[in-house]
Amino acid sequence: MLTHDSIAYNKPLLNGVRHNAIRGGRHLWLQNSWSGTANASTSVLSDDDGIVATNLFANPSPISTGLFLNTYSAATRLTDTDAGLVITSDGTGKGGVRLAVSNPGAGGWHLHAELTFSGDQSATGDAVWFSLTDQTWKYSDISSGSLTIDLDGTKVNLGAPNQLVVTCAASTSVSTTVSHVGLYTATDWSAMQAKNITWFDGEKYVK
C-alpha cells in the first residue's frame, strides 16, 4: 500500500501524475477518470473489463474552489488541507457547506462520507444532513471525534435539492473537516465492496 499526504492509495504518484502498470496484459491497479473537469464532474472507477462504479459527487474530495460547493452561511470560513476541507465559523452563526450531487435514479443508492469534529459541538443541532429523497437524514448533536457515514436508501425525489450539508457550530473554537464523499448506485457500491474500495474520485481510490 502506498501513501501520500497521509492517505492510502493504490497507484504511485510521480511528479504530480498518477501512474499504472501492466502485468500479464492487464492493468495492475484500477483506473480513475473524471467525466469532465476535475473537481467539477462525476468520476469513474474502471478495470480492464469496464466501468466498476461512478461517484455522483462532482467535488468528492471537497476543495473550496471546486464547483458544486456552496457555503451554508456568511459566517462560513473554509480552509483546504491534506486531511480535507476544514469548515469554521467567524462566530456570528453556523458555518457549513452544501455539496451538490447528481440523482442516482431508481434501484437504490449508497452514501459515504468521512467527517472529523474538533471541539464540543454538542449544541450544533443538525450538524450533518443528506437531502436526496422524500425525507432527510440528519445527524444531530455531535461532539468531538470522527464520523463515517455509510447510508443506504432507495427512494428519490426528483423535485428536491440533492445535497449533502455539513456544518460546524457558531463558535471560533471548533471546526468540522469533511473528506471522501461519495454517492453511488447500490449496484456500483456492491461492485466496489467486492474490490474492497471505500471511496474514489477521478484521480485516486482508497481501500
DSSP string, 57-119: BSSSS--TTSSSEEESSTTEEEEEETTEEEEEE-SSS-EEEEEEB----SS-EEEEEEEEEES
The single-letter DSSP state of residue 155 is -
172's grid cell = 471560533
Residue with cell 447510508: 151
The single-letter DSSP state of residue 170 is S
Query: At 32, is the pLDDT very low, low, confident or very high (cuts 50, 70, 90)?
Result: confident
Distance CA 83, CA 90 (A): 21
Residue 144 predicted with pLDDT over 50: yes
Q: Residue 127: how many CA atoms within 13 Å on its side-chain side?
A: 28
Distance CA 163, CA 103 (A): 10
Residue with cell 453511488: 184
Query: At 4, is the pLDDT very low, low, confident or very high (cuts 50, 70, 90)?
Result: very low
Dihedral angle at the C-alpha atoms of 181, 184, 186, 190, nearest 10 degrees?
-70
115 close to 176: Cβ distance less than 8 angstroms:
yes
Residue 70 vs residue 11, higher pLDDT: 70
Mean pLDDT of 109-138: 76
Q: Which numeric CATH code is attached to 2-206?
A: 2.60.120.260
204 close to 18: Cβ distance less than 8 angstroms:
yes
Strand partners, 67: none
pTM for the full predicted model:
0.81
- Give 146-187 pLDDT, tens digit per residue: 889 898 887 666 556 688 888 888 889 989 999 999 999 999
Where are the domains positioned within the chain?
A: 2-206
Non-local CB neighbours of 140 within 8 Å, separated by 6+ positions? 124, 125, 126, 127
The single-letter DSSP state of residue 16 is T
Residue 81 predicted with pLDDT over 90: yes
Residue 23 vs residue 203, higher pLDDT: 203
Residue 56 predicted with pLDDT over 90: yes
The single-letter DSSP state of residue 174 is -
Mean pLDDT of 61-76: 88
Query: At 77, is the pLDDT very low, low, confident or very high (cuts 50, 70, 90)?
Result: very high
Residue 137 predicted with pLDDT over 80: no
